[in-house]
A and B are shown apart, each in its own frame.
Chain A
């Protein structure tokens, strides 16, 4: 639920500077997710809450082992939030540009990090008998002997996540905002499914 709902506003964030060539287009794109982006993140809290009371061992182990990437994800979520909320405070092109790029940059990294996290779960982590583990952010980018959180496999899954959420956001952009786009961007949106997947 979280990935589907927050996925499209992450996708809109990734495409903000690509699709929104004019300030008006970018206004419309941000307004199209404005009322819902923070609501969508409620599901992230639901996931944390459910883990805490039903699978406390998993909660303890993963929040301990993935401490650094979780803190990075938290900062990226904060960067997205302030990117949207601070953008309109001062009507100055440089001010708006800064927050738009911050919002897009955080969205790109967040989409990749979610994929990397999924890749780690699929690949497995070096759990000890007590159920704890530690992984550095990266080692040699290989799977063996001691893989980091980022290796060639998790990067692939991260890129799949990036393209999937970008495409999901593109589908939302076509469906929701009534914005005008140039012909090049129309072509991009027409092939939003096939090119990315």
Chain B
């Protein structure tokens, strides 16, 4: 029996060793990243209190990890964190160099490159170099418009100029954004997810232009056209109904139209998976309407 127990012990050790050796995945990188991430979070809590040597040490560790595992899918994240450490240390030039490393190394991956470019642009913004930042943002818009980052770029530019109080540029980019999003939203050859997202982005452009009826028309269209889509998940539906409610109730003060729109969707799509949610939305609006009416009566 002693022998059997020893065999079982050997099996346990053997299984551990064999599976550890066979593991060709990213587990070790993930583990190291997690450990570094813990230290990164400590630094990020109060970067001013961190001595420069500690920044250098962390950056060296990330660099060593990236060099040790050059094929890892976490390499862009490593460089992004190196850049973030430089930014925290207010060394923006070095931060951009780190982000550029991602741009050069992953030039075949538009998603990764566009994110790194966005970081470069943001680093310029932190230095108040608006023109340089805009140049990078425009580069993303021009070359990577179909990536997640590129898709947000027109509205990011609108926000940027709005913060700067440059209304001419705001209008210019709103027009450009409208053209861009509408082009995708109405193009049947584009994939469904992109068209839904473009329609939502188009609604936010109209919202920024205070074109309330266009917001309603666009989002109502999304509900009607993509109500059965697998991409119409609860989160997206919640975003759409919230935007519609802001317009109907917050801006137009028209509770009845909001209720009528949701009711018409439920009537036209009996048994639809979204109906219970929309019913709750209707109930909330009715409650709000009742509350508002009661609040208004004494004033009369």
User: Does A associate with B in a complex?
Assistant: no
